[in-house]
Amino acid sequence: MTEPVKQPNLLVIMADQLRYDCLGYSRLAPVQTPHLDSLAAGGMWFENAYNHIPICGPARQSFVCGRRPESFGGLWNYSLGLQVGALAPTNFSWARSVQEAGYVNGYIGKWDVHPSFDPTHYGYTYYVSSDDRYRKLLKERYPELAYKAGYFGETDPLPLADTRTHKTAEMACGLMRQLAATDGPWQLRVNFQEPHLPCRPAAEFAAMYTPDSIPEWGSFGETFADKPYIQKQQLRNWGIEHYEWPDWAPIVARYYAVISQLDDAVGKLLAELDALGQSGDTVVVFTTDHGDMCGGHRMLDKHYVLYEDVVKVPLIVRWPGVVAPGSRCERFVYNLLDLPPTLLAIAGAGYPEGGGDRLHGESLLPLLQGAEPDQWRDEVVASFNGAQFGLFTQRMIRTREWKYVWNCTDVDELYDLRSDPHELHNVIGHPGSRRITAELRKRLYHILLADGDGIVRNEWMRWQLLEGRKA
């Protein structure tokens, strides 16, 4: 491998609510994503990348500052339910650091970091509010347009060029050209809103998938036996308690279709990068904020669960001349916590290593360069605090073999992932599970404490984890 390019450009592409198993490169679902597959083949595909909080606002706030949202009060989406804090511009921002290191930064698309302050307050020189522009376009060109199917989705009657995916890509290409014309390196974040429900693929992509071609999720046989009450209640909240697979198949088909459409839009970004002659000097990152149930465990959306469907995510990094094409990394990584120190290291920018601004992730640079670090995490931890149907506190720790979910006000969950990869059988009550449960609770406690999660500073919560006062 050649020496790294000094301060390469950074192109960070983020999808919204994309499952790990729904890219063709994963070989797990029949979704066609040729452009993203090509991107992965040209760089590194992370087999075990995890989101640390599967809800839009807190996840994206964490990505800005590189810290778990519980450490700064971003517990759930500030636009839902009880009012909650958001990440203030006075907090650390990796974009601001790379800006100080000489980068010109641009941001386009979904934000969800603060209701009042846009990306220009966090280190971005240029910001394109693509959703505002898109709404204006629809109002002008298609004043009679009305979608009818709600969250369950439908075929979009618009021509592909006027869909949100492709208008976002068009605007992003324009911003990329603007950045490429400046002196010095640039950093561009492109944030698509797809495939977040409701899924509305254009006709040519909707035609790619028919309900009878959609395989049933391995977790669809969920019975909710010995599971927290809130999971089965979610089916009632959405009115889907009687849905069988024939009801879900067309919904999943539209999810697949809009992912293929998103892939096509990403292909336009990558083609623009090629046309500018800057692909060889640009690190390209593709990931998402979290996954989607989309019928997994018979559930919709992503709330009140920490199943693999929502916490395991795609992560691709291509860096010509540094990352070997076709690389696969099997280590446990966090996409939104490990990327900030990684991007800072690539850019040669500084970041805090102690105190209240300490980053909670680790730089992926050694892994990207093909090294095998002697010390690397052998677990991942995720959290959930509440959403539109009310508050419900959860913390999760996952190792190669086990997943433990601490549900503070309901039954806990323990899954033996070797024999039960689809997380259907909660074995928390089995006598033989006591030792591993105690071990995982202790490990979870110490990680949460180190990362500033105030819940474990509560005496009653410590009792639950360290003294086994929770059955």
Residue 3 lies in a domain: no
Domain edge (last residue) among 375, 407, 433: 375
Q: What is the pLDDT of residue 91?
A: 94
If one counts the domains in the chain, the total is 2
Q: What is the pLDDT of residue 185?
A: 97
Residues 254 and 342 in one domain: yes
Q: Taking a C-beta distance cutoff of 8 angstroms, is the pair 297, 219 a contact?
A: yes
What is the per-residue pLDDT across 50-84, written as a single tens digit (0 to 9) for each?
A: 999 999 999 999 999 999 999 999 999 988 778 88
For the chain, what is the total number of helices (H) and then of strands (E)? 13, 12
Q: What is the pLDDT of residue 237?
A: 92
Q: What is the pLDDT of residue 251?
A: 98
Residues 371 and 403 in one domain: no
Q: What is the pLDDT of residue 70?
A: 94
**C-alpha atoms less than 13 angstroms from C-alpha of 51 in its C-beta half-sphere:** 34
Residues 449 and 309 in one domain: no
Domain edge (last residue) among 349, 375, 401: 375
Residue 2 lies in a domain: no
Residues 308 and 410 in one domain: no
Tokens 């040519």 map to which residue? 204
Intervals of the chain under pLDDT 70: 1-5, 354-355, 470-471
Residue 1 lies in a domain: no
What is the per-residue pLDDT across 94-105, written as a single tens digit (0 to 9) for each?
A: 999 999 999 999
CATH at 411? 3.30.1120.10
Residues 270 and 324 in one domain: yes
User: For the sheet containing 390-398, what is the strand order?
Assistant: 380-387, 390-398, 402-407, 413-416
Residues 316 and 403 in one domain: no
**How far is residue 432's CA from residue 388's CA, in Å, rounded to a whole number?**
37
Sequence-distant (≥ 6) Cβ neighbours of residue 66 within 8 angstroms: 92, 94, 337, 340, 341, 351, 359, 360, 361
Residue 47 lies in a domain: yes
Q: What is the pLDDT of residue 2?
A: 40
Q: What is the pLDDT of residue 184?
A: 86
Domain edge (last residue) among 333, 352, 375: 375
Q: Which two tokens stand for residue 443?
A: 């490990």
Residues 186 and 270 in one domain: yes
Chain mean position to CA 343: 17
What are the angstrom distances between the C-alpha of 39 and each of 126, 233, 291, 424, 467?
A: 26, 40, 20, 34, 48
**How far is residue 165's CA from residue 167's CA, in Å, rounded to a whole number?**
6
Buried-state track 3-17, b at ≥16 Cβ within 10 A, e below 16: ebbebbbbbbbbbbb
Q: What is the pLDDT of residue 20?
A: 97
Residues 225 and 334 in one domain: yes
**How far is residue 286's CA from residue 190's CA, in Å, rounded to a whole number?**
10
Residue 471 lies in a domain: no
**How far is residue 141's CA from residue 114's CA, in Å, rounded to a whole number?**
30
pTM: 0.96
CATH at 18? 3.40.720.10
Residues 34 and 163 in one domain: yes
Residues 368 and 392 in one domain: no
Residue 302, number of CB atoms within 10 A of its CB = 26
Residues 107 and 254 in one domain: yes
Q: What is the pLDDT of residue 83?
A: 83
**How far is residue 262's CA from residue 312's CA, in Å, rounded to a whole number?**
19
Q: Taking a C-beta distance cutoff of 8 angstroms, is the pair 391, 398 a contact?
A: no
CA triple 184-185-190, angle to 5 deg: 140
DSSP letter (8 states) at residue 455: G
Instruction: Give the max Cα distance, the chain.
Output: 65
Residues 69 and 141 in one domain: yes
Domain range enclosing 103: 9-375
